[in-house]
Structure 1
């Protein structure tokens, strides 16, 4: 029997599209949080200037990926591996909520600033003349950073929980997102 790649999710493991979106987002999140940490800890350094210059574009990429991921998850409703607990279900719901909220708050703030935004050369927001829209620009200082660091804490919790399950003997938790079959 030939082993063909499984693109859709199943009750046993996530398909290749879900896994690709998961790991691609993981890489971009590492980049994104590294840029935020460099900006916080080494402001005005060459590292900060390089990393921070990519922060908005990386955030936009994450927004696109999360929209694709949510749509793909909805298309796979009923096929996905079951959650290991109600706490895991709640944790994943919070992750998805924050993965949408953090870049959305940034986009609202960007619009309110009146500055143009063209990630990857795509003219997303043309910008405008006149006064900033204060409540929109206040979102960043009031929520974007706070929600971003909360998202990082949840991501770390997600990673710790996955390893904890793996080390506690439930090897299938890691296998279903890595893609290796059960033995």
Structure 2
């Protein structure tokens, strides 16, 4: 099995695939923790999970920067759908993914800052507060955070359904190109 590091017109390279799947795991794990946090009373477990949730949110921001740079300097594989309109929607949907992920992450960070909390990333380093302690900003930030999570989940479901449509209905290599192995 031969792995390519760079993308080419026919498929994604190892770096793009790793960014995709690592971010997928981080985002799904963080969403699951966020759901659990909503049901927990104040406790050491809630404090621990909240710190993991905040750390994963900062990790998303950290990963998006090189991922976007990688996407900008690499060839993006040719769309296989054959419909120029849908191909264009797909292109913009991918950029919307990055945008909404940043909205989710920065609104969470803003919420923590406005509540007077700190974000200590996995006990390794702390990020500075984005704003001073302020209840009105905290309320706005948590509302933006929650709404943007639902928007992201909606776009994610559409993304998954589109991938399955390509795989099972169109029977093209769109889904396989993002997986590892001899699928390009």
Q: Into which bin does the TM-score normalised by the smaller protein fall? A: 0.7 to 0.9
The alignment status of 1:103 with 2:105, answered yes or no, reads: yes
Q: State the Cα deviation string for residues 45-95 of structure 1 (Å, max 9, x = none).
A: 98x73644421111111111112211111121xx11134412212321221
Structure 2, unpaired ranges of 5+: 82-86
CA shift for structure 1 position 25: 0.8
Taking structure 1 as the reference length, the TM-score comes to: 0.82
Partners of 1:15 and 1:91 lie apart in 2 by 20
8 Å CA contact 1:34–1:51 kept in 2: the answer is no
1:67 aligned residue (58, 65, 68): 65
Partners of 1:127 and 1:23 lie apart in 2 by 29
Matched residues, number: 176
Q: State the Cα deviation string for residues 15-58 of structure 1 (Å, max 9, x = none).
A: 10110010011111121111122223x33298x73644421111
Structure 1, unpaired ranges of 5+: none
8 Å CA contact 1:166–1:172 kept in 2: the answer is yes
Taking structure 2 as the reference length, the TM-score comes to: 0.82
Higher relative contact order (CA 8 A, sep 6+): 2
Query: 1:127/1:104 Cα in 2 relative to 1: closer, same or farther (>3 Å)?
Result: closer
